[in-house]
Amino acid sequence: MPAGGCRSLDGSCLGLPKLDERLLRFPGLPSRVLRGRRAVTIALASWRWDHDSLTSNGSCWRTLGCAITGLRRAARVSARGNILHGALVEQEIVATGRGPGMLEFNDLKPVHTELAEELKAALERVLDSGWFVLGPEVETFEQEFASYHGVRHAVAVASGTDAIELALRAAGIGPGDEVITVAHTAVATVCAIERAGAKPVLVDIDPNTYTMHPSAAAAAITARTRAMIPVHLYGHPANLDAFIALTERHGLLLIEDCAQAHGARWNGRLVGTFGAMGCFSFYPTKNLAALGDGGAIITRDAHLAERLRRLRNYGQVERYHHEERGINSRLDEIQAACLRVKLAHLDDHNAARRTIAEDYDHHLRGVVIPQEHGPVTHVYHLYVVRHRDRDLLSRRLRQKGIGTLVHYPVPIHRQPAYADLDYGPGSLPHTERAAAEVLSLPLYVGLRSADVLNVAEAIYRSLREAA
């Protein structure tokens, strides 16, 4: 199946076998489906005529659209390839509106359906207020977010990237300084360090947790090192005991990248509260998610908080008076109002994520499942398995209608954009091996047990086919 979907219903463009016109004689097809009969034919012709065909070619269904999406669940195909019955097709189309058997990597609809009334009320409140940027909703969200973490200050900004950049700038870290972090992270972590003017120093991960390895970080400390930014990747806290000890011993600043770990805990205490500052992203797929971009920094330090508030608003102390050079990184009222709604459900939603993860742990066979190391409460922003034939597995899952993603396929030190950082191949071996083997499975609030079982079965079958 060509990447990026296919607009045309031409079988050749989909790379499918010759159309099988016999299928058009399928007696149960209702008129609605017959109107899209060419599409149906293409889709069906692409199936292999065995029992597995019922769960294969999901991406074909997605591409060909709603007119045929109901067919797969309704049709039953015998071992010899005869369609046995399909009378439920039309109801299926109307009822599901999506390809049966199709499982997207992420789906934000269930959570927004659950919270629809609360979100609508929040949006209405903002509309009625007539205040749209850095207003009462932002202020209240900041108080609620700080209080959730048991700290005095939260400063809301426009993104997680800005949160890290501004945290560094507020601490006076910039040109000439080195900041230690990992290459196995979203590029934003490194991008933010460079935007602050500092030099990112990339170190290897602990292959069990995919987070910064304390001894790798220790080995990278130089006279120029000013800070360490461990990333609580996938929702699993980095080894905070080790990083607190390390940064205290060397007089360094600890800044936590919590973009993937809202509500995660180390030793029962929330991440973000261990370092001088904790930086969060509220990108729509995060555990605490806005309906657009957003971010925040939490801190106990009143001076840092005050400086962060200035820096996010052009360095302004009062209107049109600029004490230092800042940027525009303000959270808007709509995002803050929605974040307030979702913050109240964060712990429940994280509990739901953990239950789904346990379900996966229980059913998966043939892949390395995620591990929890240390006194952690993992919040499963991502459920990441590992397999040496990751690319083949992900292709086969796609053929079976299951969306997966890779976080992240090319570590930052091997990205062309960062070639000048000058890390050769093999310089971060655990990072590079993880990049080649990790695979993120569907996990979102609203994912059903049956979906987890389907994914587990599809993985089992894919690996058997590949053997």
Ligand X SMILES: Cc1ncc(COP(=O)(O)O)c(C=O)c1O
Pairing of strands 316-318, 321-322: antiparallel
* Pairwise CA distance, residues 388 & 394, whole Å: 11
Sole residue written with tokens 């006279």: 223
Q: Is 290 in the site for ligand X (CB under 6 A)?
A: no
Output 171 or 259, the one with its CB closest to ligand X. 259
Range 399-422 burial, b when 16+ CB lie within 10 A, else e: bbbbbbbbbbeebbbbeeebeebe
Q: Please tell me the distance from the alpha carbon of residue 28 to that of residue 82, in angstroms, as a whole number.
A: 12
Confirm or reject binding of residue 278 to ligand X (CB under 6 A).
Answer: no
Both tokens assigned to 27: 């007696």
Amino acid at residue number 301:
D
Considering the complex, state which of residue 92 and residue 162 has its C-beta at the smaller distance from ligand X: 162
Binding mask 113-152 for ligand X (x = CB under 6 A): ----------------------------------------
Binding flag, residue 160, ligand X (CB under 6 A): yes
Phi, psi of 179 (to 5 degrees): -125, 125
Q: Of these, 46, 59, 225, 281, which contacts ligand X (CB under 6 A)?
A: 281
Residues 205-234 that bind ligand X (CB under 6 A): 231
Stretch of 156-164, 242-250, 300-308, 383-391 contacting ligand X, by CB under 6 A:
156-164
Residue 331 sits in the site that holds ligand X (CB under 6 A): no
- Tell me which long-range contacts 116-120 makes (C-beta under 8 A, separation of at least 24): 118/341, 119/291, 119/338, 119/341
Q: Which amino acid is at 450?
A: A
Residue nearest to ligand X as judged by C-beta position: 160
Give the integer Cα–Cα distance in Å for 178 and 233.
21
Given 61, 266, 283, 444, the residue binding ligand X (CB under 6 A): 283
Q: Least separation, in Å, of the C-beta of 279 and ligand X?
A: 7
> What residues form DSSP beta bridges with 279?
257, 297
User: Could you give the string, one character per residue 245-264, with x where binding to ligand X holds by CB under 6 A and - elsewhere?
Assistant: ------------x-xx----
Q: In DSSP terms, which residues pair with 405 in a beta bridge? A: 440
Which range in 92-100, 127-135, 154-162, 167-175 contacts ligand X by CB under 6 A? 154-162
By CB under 6 A, how many residues form the interface with ligand X?
A: 15
- Residue carrying structure tokens 């299951």: 402
Q: Based on CB atoms, which residue is closest to ligand X, 156 or 455?
A: 156
Residues 164-203 that bind ligand X (CB under 6 A): 185-186, 188-189
When asked if residue 295 is in the footprint of ligand X (CB under 6 A), the reply is yes
Chain positions contacting ligand X, by CB under 6 A: 159-161, 185-186, 188-189, 231, 257, 259-260, 281, 283, 293, 295
